[in-house]
Homo-oligomer: A and B are copies of this chain.
Amino acid sequence: MPGRIKAVVAHGGGPTAVINASLAGLARGVRASGGLLFGAPGGIPALLAGRFADLSMHGDSLWDEIALAPGSALGSSRQALLDGDCERIVEQFRRQEIRCFFYTGGNGSMGTALRVERCARAAGYELQVIGIPKTIDNDLLETDHSPGYGSTARFFACAARDAGQDNRSLPSPICVLEVLGRNAGWIAAATAMARHNEDDAPHLILLPEHRVSLETIAAAAERVYRRLGRVFIAVCEGQRDEQGQPFGADLDRPGSPAHELASNLGHTLARALTAKLGLRARAEKPGLVGRSCGLFVSVADRQAAHLCGLAAAGAAANGATGVMTALRREGSQPYAASTFLTPLERVAGRERLLPAEFAAASGLDVTPAFLDYLHPLTGPVEPWSQLPGVP
C-alpha cells in the first residue's frame, strides 16, 4: 500500500471458530504497513451504506483476545448483491477514499470480491481487492485448507469419538450423527479421526459426493449391527439419495433452495432406518455448535487463519489486487504452511469436492490418505482409555 492507504474489511457467509484470528492478523498487518483499517460491521448492508467502523485504534491485547473468540466479531451477512449494488459499494469507497477492500469468505464471497474488483476497474476507480479464505466446508480451491475447517473437523471428530464412547457404554442399535456440510464431504469425512480400533464409531461415513440409496445404507447398517449390536453413522446435512433427492429432509423455509437441506436430515434418516430395519435409532445434530465451539479450536487452524489475514495485508502493501491469500502446506508434523496469492477467478464460485482418492471404494468410508491430510489440521484426537477385560 503506497502511502497511508485506507482499507475496509468485511465478511461474507457463516462465521467460523477462527475467522476472528484472520481479522486480528489482518489488523496487525495493516498497522505494520502504516495503513488504516476500517470494518464494515455486518457485511454487505454496511458496505452499501458506507457504514465503516475504525479498527485502527485497537491494540495487540484486544486483538489477542478477539483472535480467540469464535463467531465473527465484525459480523457477517448472506445478502446477495443485486444489480447496481457493486456500483454503490464502489461509490461509497470513492467518497471515503477507501483504496483497498479485504473480503473474508468462501467461494461465493470470492465471487462477490471479484465483482467488486471488476466494477471498480470499469468505473476507473483504483481499488485493490484481496480475498481472505474462510469456510468450514473446506471447499475452496487452490488453498491447502480453508481456515475454519480444521476446527469444525476437530469438533465433529471429537463428537463422534465421545458419542461413540457413550453408545458403546449403552448400545443404541442405530445412532446417527448429522454433521455440517452440503455438497462436499470434508466434514463428514473428518469423523473418521474418531476411530482408533476396528470397532470404533463411526462405522459408516456417508459422503455427499457419493449418492446412496436408503437400501444400501440399511444393508450396510444391518451388517454392522449384527457384528457389534450397534451402528454409528455420520452423515452431512446435504446427503442425497441415489436419485439425487435430499434425504427426506424437511424444508425449514419451503421454496428456498439455500435452506432446503439445512434442517433435519439425520433425524429423518434415523426414522427411515427404524422403519426399514425394525431397530431403534436416534440422531444427534450439533449443528452450528460445531462451527462456533471455542473449546474445540484447532491451534493449527487458528494459526493458519491468522497467517491468511496477515498475508492479505502484506499483499495489499505490495500492490496486489484481484487475488486471494491461500495456504501451501510446508510440513505436516507439526502443520506448517506458507501463503501465496491466487487469482480470485480461480476460486470464485468454484467448489472443491472431496477428491476420489480420499473416499473408500464403498463410498461409505474414507482412505488412509485422507487421514494423512487431515491429522495435522485438527491435531490429535486421542482415544479414551478402556477397561481391559470388559467387553
Contacts and interface: CB of A to CB of B under 8 A. Distances in A.
B296 A282 contact: no
A345 interface: no
Contacts of A285: 284-287
B169 A76 contact: yes
Given A71-B169, A169-B75, A391-B42, A287 B289 contact: no
A81 to B, nearest CB: 17
Given A267-B250, A282-B287, A286-B284, A292 B166 contact: yes
Interface string A269-312: 01100100000111111111101111110000000000000000
Contacts of A69: 165, 384-386
Nearest to A387: B73
Nearest to A384: B69
Contacts of A274: 252-253
Contact of A70 (B54, B284, B292, B384): B384
16 contacts: A42-B391, A65-B385, A72-B169, A72-B170, A73-B169, A73-B387, A77-B170, A78-B170, A158-B293, A162-B289, A166-B288, A252-B270, A282-B288, A284-B285, A284-B287, A285-B286
- Interface extent on A, as a size class? 35 or more
Interface string A355-391: 0000000000000000000000000000011111111
Interface of A: 13-15, 39, 41-42, 53-55, 58, 62, 65-66, 68-78, 158-159, 162-163, 165-170, 175, 177, 250, 252-253, 259, 262-264, 267, 270-271, 274, 280-289, 291-296, 384-391
A386 B68 CA distance: 11
Contacts of A280: 252-253, 259
A62 B384 CA distance: 11
